[in-house]
């Protein structure tokens, strides 16, 4: 169904009453680096400290999801802080492409705005007003993409798997049978049991009210699918991308015919619900890409698939990232490719080392793909 008759919780009424938290002038970003109109390596970890900005710049990462500005309680994001983040990035030639809304992968027990996915009014209406204000702040800071989750369960994992063939790297692992054995499937969140129809009511209640604002301010809202697509009823919840991942993506994509409605397309989370990720992922990318609904890419590889997988390095999983990036090129995607859920190892600098490897890997693939074009 095309939901063109959005509930107009009008920008004039509900947004006009919300303070933006600062009077500083809008930041004008410097000209983008060479590579406009093509894909580029991105990152979503570390924030905008000088140390992290230097790390990004050293590794050729000039397009980022910078996290989120400081929150003013009961209002939303602090515009002054957002502009300061932009200024810090601009000094290094780094473009803030995205922020993260407070609808995160922590699940309903861990997010700052739980009432939206609890479906609890009037509390959810106040939280939605904050989201509307955050869209305004992003636009006034020249940040044109906001990433978010509409989930109840947090990210589900059952442990870690050590790979001696990759220097004892440790991979985050999900095994459904092990989860059942541990009784994890019996655990419930504060939401209790939620049907798929109830879940969609809460999602559309949110999007009916924020998409008109996003359209007005030319901001894209990219949704990250649930991780992983667990079996129906797991933890009392049926995730919107379960049990058929592609069907779930199609249903979510077709809720709205809006340039602001799309995906933070996590290839790892998508592959986690497929029986043969290498072959099944390509038609999904083509379908979403041809609709212009790929807003951001998490380039995460896995070994395995539905109900049993490990999150591995980008070069040693089951998906062919060279073929995937070719597909993204061919559908006209020009956004970020960012590392996600990097494997760990026994070294204090494990995270930095893993990201450095992934940055170089992505850059190499991009050079190869565009050399073919």
Mean pLDDT of the chain: 92
Which contacts qualify for 166-171: CB closer than 8 Å, 24 or more apart?
Answer: 166/313, 166/316, 166/343, 167/345, 168/345, 168/346, 169/313, 169/343, 169/344, 169/345, 170/343, 170/344, 170/345, 171/303, 171/310, 171/311, 171/312, 171/343
At residue 142 the predicted structure's pLDDT band, cuts being 50, 70 and 90, is very high
| Rounded CA separation 276/257 (Å) | 30
| CATH number, domain containing residue 44 | 3.20.20.150
If pLDDT is split at 50, 70 and 90, which confidence band does 34 have?
very low
The backbone region for 315, taken as left when phi is positive above 0, alpha when psi lies in -120 to 50, beta otherwise, is alpha
Is 91 within the bounds of a domain? yes
Nearest to 325 by CA among 351, 364, 291: 364
Residue 185, in any domain of the structure: yes
Distance, CA of 255 to CA of 245 (rounded, Å): 16
Look at residue 2 and tell me if it is in a domain: no
Instruction: State the DSSP code for 125.
Output: H
Number of domains the chain contains = 1
Q: How far is CA 153 from CA 29, 150, 246, 316, 352, in A?
A: 38, 10, 20, 28, 28
Report the pLDDT averaged over residues 274-296: 98
Whether the CB-CB separation of 268 and 340 falls below 8 Å is answered with yes
Give the Cα separation of 204 and 220 in Å (integer).
16
Per DSSP, the three-state class of 96 is: strand
Q: Which two tokens stand for residue 261?
A: 């409605």
| Distance between CA atoms of residues 348 and 352, nearest Å | 9
- Alpha carbons 218 and 214: distance in angstroms, whole number: 6
Residue 6 lies in a domain: no
Grade residue 25 by pLDDT with cuts at 50, 70 and 90.
very low
Q: Is residue 349 part of a domain?
A: yes
Domain annotation covers residue 197: yes
Q: Give pLDDT, residue 37.
A: 79
188-to-108, 123, 191, 266 alpha-carbon distances in Å: 11, 21, 7, 25
Would you place residue 24 in the very low, low, confident or very high pLDDT band (cuts 50, 70, 90)?
Answer: very low
* Other Cβ atoms within 10 Å of 95 Cβ, number: 23
Looking at residue 11, the DSSP 8-state letter turns out to be I
- Sign of the dihedral defined by the CA atoms of residues 299, 304, 310, 314, in that order: negative
Range of the domain at 280: 15-21+34-372
Note whether residue 361 is domain-resident.
Answer: yes
Supply the pLDDT for residue 17. Answer: 41
**Three-state SS for 158?**
coil
What confidence score (pLDDT) does residue 23 get? Answer: 39
Can you give the pLDDT at residue 46?
A: 87
Confidence of residue 238 (pLDDT cuts 50, 70, 90): very high
Q: How does pLDDT run across 287-316, given as a tens digit for each residue?
A: 999 999 999 999 999 999 999 999 999 999
What is the longest distance spanned by two Cα atoms in the chain? 59
Residue 333 lies inside a defined structural domain of this protein:
yes
């Amino acid at each position: 169904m095309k939901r063109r008759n959005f509930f107009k919780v009008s920008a004039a009424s509900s947004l006009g009453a919300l303070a933006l938290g600062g009077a500083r002038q809008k930041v004008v970003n410097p000209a983008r680096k060479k590579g406009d109109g093509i894909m580029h390596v991105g990152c979503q970890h570390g924030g905008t400290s000088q140390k992290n900005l230097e790390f990004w710049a050293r590794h050729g990462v000039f397009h980022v999801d910078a996290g989120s500005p400081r929150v003013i309680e009961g209002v939303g994001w602090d515009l002054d802080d957002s502009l300061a983040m932009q200024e810090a990035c601009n000094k290094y030639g780094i473009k803030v492409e995205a922020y993260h809304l407070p609808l995160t992968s922590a699940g309903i027990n861990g997010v700052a705005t739980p009432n939206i996915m609890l479906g609890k009014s009037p509390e959810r209406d106040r939280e939605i007003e904050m989201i509307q204000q955050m869209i305004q702040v992003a636009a006034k800071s020249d940040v044109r993409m906001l990433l978010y989750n509409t989930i109840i369960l947090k990210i589900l994992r059952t442990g870690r798997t050590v790979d001696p063939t990759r220097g004892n790297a440790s991979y985050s692992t999900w095994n459904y049978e092990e989860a059942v054995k541990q009784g994890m499937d019996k655990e419930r969140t504060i939401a209790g049991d939620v049907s798929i129809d109830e879940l969609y009511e809460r999602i559309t209640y949110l999007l009916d009210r924020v998409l008109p604002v996003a359209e007005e301010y030319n901001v894209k809202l990219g949704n990250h699918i649930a991780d992983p697509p667990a079996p129906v009823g797991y933890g009392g919840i049926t995730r919107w991308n379960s049990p058929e991942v592609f069907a779930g993506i199609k249903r979510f994509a077709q809720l709205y015919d809006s340039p602001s409605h799309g995906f933070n397309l996590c290839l790892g989370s998508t592959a986690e619900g497929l029986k043969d990720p290498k072959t099944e992922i390509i038609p999904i990318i083509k379908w979403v890409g041809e609709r212009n609904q790929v807003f951001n890419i998490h380039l995460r590889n896995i070994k395995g698939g539905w109900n049993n997988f490990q999150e591995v390095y980008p070069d040693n999983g089951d998906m062919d990232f060279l073929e995937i990036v070719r597909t993204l090129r061919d559908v006209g995607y020009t956004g970020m490719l960012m590392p996600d859920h990097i494997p760990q190892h026994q070294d204090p600098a494990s995270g930095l080392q893993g990201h450095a490897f992934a940055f170089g890997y992505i850059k190499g693939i991009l050079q190869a793909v565009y050399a073919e074009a």
